[in-house]
Amino acid sequence: MANSLTRFDPFSELARLDPFRGFDEVFNQSLLGPRLRSSGMTPRMDVAETEKEYVVKAEVPGVKKEDIKVNVDGNQVSISAQTQQESEQKTETMLCTERSWGQYYRSFTLPQAVDDTQAKAEYHDGILELTLPKKTGGSAKTLAIH
């Protein structure tokens, strides 16, 4: 498991020539990032690693499983979902209808490529659980939510 500390090298990101690597972390540390996190637009996640696989648990409450999309491309994983809610309250003197909508999005890079043919996604009680077996190499795949 990856429980070791590594020294921070500010130039190591440049060496990989990936202009978007680390964008999520930079954005979340900006002034706008905490507002998006508090409004629930970036799902909170737990990522665990075993010798054979990664297990990701992401909070996406209030979303139908049909509205969740998970994309796996090598070691890059993206989770997106759309939510819509509508409530209506009627009393003798007042009528109130409220609507809200939003989109969850989170993308992250794992240390090792994922075997997308064996990858699984399940959604229960607002928690999306991904089981992502490790492999070398990779290809893109969209996962069906069960």
Amino acid symbol at 64: K
Domain ranges of the chain: 13-42, 43-143
Q: How many residues does the chain have?
A: 146
- pLDDT > 70: percent of the chain: 67
Q: How confident is the model at residue 2 (pLDDT cuts 50, 70, 90)?
A: low
Residue 127 has pLDDT above 60, yes or no: yes
pLDDT in tens, 44-90: 999 999 999 999 999 988 888 899 999 999 899 999 998 877 777 77
117 closest CA partner among 88, 95, 138: 138
Q: Alpha-carbon distance 89 to 143, whole Å? A: 38
Judged by average pLDDT, the poorest of 29-38, 73-82, 93-102 is 29-38
Sign of CA dihedral 111, 10, 40, 44: positive
Architecture of the domain defined by 43-143: Sandwich (2.60)
- Greater confidence (1 vs 76) lies with 76
Q: What is the mean pLDDT of residues 82-99?
A: 74
Cα within 13 Å of Cα(103), Cβ side: 5
